[in-house]
Amino acid sequence: MEFKGLPGADLVEQGLADLARNEETLPSLLVSIGSPRLRLLGIDVPTPISGAEERLYRLLARDGTDSAHGRYNTLVRTLVSFERSAALRSRAA
């Protein structure tokens, strides 16, 4: 599937690459959260990181600011937008 033009494509592509290298990063955690739906869309997702939701939140909270919750929600909304757009694109093809 071509990701170009989909919202959050850069995060998903990076997350897939990071997962393939077994790296725990913000993008790999986000892709881990979305792995069930991404797989339904035909995207080959490497083994996801367990407990990704909590791990992502902890990663965002490391900087000591109170914005972790808002940033977490923004990232998840970006993932959902990617998934919805990818689903629409696959139906149109």
Divide the 93 residues of the chain into consecutive groups of 10 and give the mean pLDDT of each group.
92 98 98 97 97 96 84 96 95 80
Q: How confident is the model at residue 63, as a pLDDT?
A: 79
Q: How confident is the model at residue 27, as a pLDDT?
A: 98
pTM of the entire predicted model = 0.93
In this structure, what token pair is assigned to residue 78? Answer: 């970006």
Q: How confident is the model at residue 1, as a pLDDT?
A: 75
Residue 57 placed within a domain: yes
Domain count, the chain: 1
Q: How far is CA 93 from CA 3, 11, 76, 86, 88, in A?
A: 14, 23, 26, 11, 9
Residue 70 placed within a domain: yes
Q: How confident is the model at residue 4, as a pLDDT?
A: 92
Residue 77 placed within a domain: yes
Residue 32 class from Cβ within 10 Å (0-12 exposed, 13-18 middle, 19+ buried)? buried
Instruction: Name the nearest CA neighbour of 14 among 46, 55, 58.
Output: 46
Instruction: Name the nearest CA neighbour of 27 among 39, 36, 14, 40.
Output: 14
Domain span at residue 82 reads 9-92
Residue 3 placed within a domain: no
Residue 49 placed within a domain: yes
Residue 4 placed within a domain: no
